[in-house]
Amino acid sequence: MITVKSLCKEFTHDLQVLKGIDLNIEKGEKVVIIGPSGSGKSTFLRCLNLLEIPTSGEIWFEGINITDKKTDIDFLRRKMGMVFQHFNLFPHKSIIENIMLAPVMLGIQTREEAYYKAHQLLKRVGLSDKADAYPAQLSGGQKQRIAIIRALAMEPDVMLFDEPTSALDPEMVGEVLEVMKELAEAGMTMVVVTHEMGFAKEVATRVLFMDDGCVLEDAPPEEFFANPKNPRLVEFLSKVL
């Protein structure tokens, strides 16, 4: 579904964040990327929907080369939902408007359809009573759940999560991970950058370890945690587990 070929990203000539990444993600896979800060994992994720423009390399999504300048990236982004560390809800819109905005504006759904769908999604994450509230009135965990269903309202084929629980109080991490687990069980293709090792163990079909702009380990979670091969990963796991 997503194929990445020798992807490089430089911010300046000195600062090379991604040093040639090759990766293939199949439909239905749940890929969790872990690694120390500054290893380039967030940049890699943001490259996947071109929020960062790669310096070189190719990204293919559903058979289309999205790094090609002629590709209509706005159209492809509809099929790639993204969830941010800081939620990025639209503060001037109510929750229901946040969810309905993109589908209605892009003419994918009528207002009535979008309204119905938004309410279904709200029910799914247990926030039906917040439909007419504004983001400022919600807790961090609630905001992130809304951010997830806002992305889901576009009916994407893949969901990208950029450290979705890093800005949350420990108490609220659980409710967000719960939503993500349900999503995984429903068969969504997911790429998740996170520091939640428990989530990686439980949900992932593949775990990647990134450091210094390279993927150093790529294995199923059982093998990844029980039998790490790369010495850098062994060191990392000994610190975080």
Which parts of this chain interact with other proteins (CB under 8 A)? Answer: 49, 51, 74-75, 77-78, 80-82, 84, 86, 88-94, 101-102, 105-106, 134-137, 147, 150-151, 154
Give helix then strand counts, H and E, for the chain: 9, 10
Distances in Å between the Cα of 151 and the Cα atoms of 4, 158, 224, 234 are 23, 10, 30, 35
CB of 155 to other proteins, least distance (A): 11
CB of 106 to other proteins, least distance (A): 6
The two three-digit tokens of residue 85, written as one number: 């560390």
The two three-digit tokens of residue 178, written as one number: 């719960």
Q: What interhelical angle do 95-105 and 111-124 show, nearest 10? A: 130
CB of 214 to other proteins, least distance (A): 25
In the complex with other proteins, which residue's Cβ is closer, 154 or 233?
Answer: 154
By the 8 A CB rule, do 34 and 194 touch? yes
CB of 65 to other proteins, least distance (A): 18
CB of 51 to other proteins, least distance (A): 6
By the 8 A CB rule, do 173 and 196 touch? yes
In the complex with other proteins, which residue's Cβ is closer, 39 or 42?
Answer: 42
Residue 90: which residues within 8 A CB-CB, separation 6 or more? 97, 98, 101, 135
In the complex with other proteins, which residue's Cβ is closer, 49 or 194?
Answer: 49
In the complex with other proteins, which residue's Cβ is closer, 74 or 112?
Answer: 74
The two three-digit tokens of residue 138, written as one number: 């919600």
In the complex with other proteins, which residue's Cβ is closer, 11 or 90?
Answer: 90
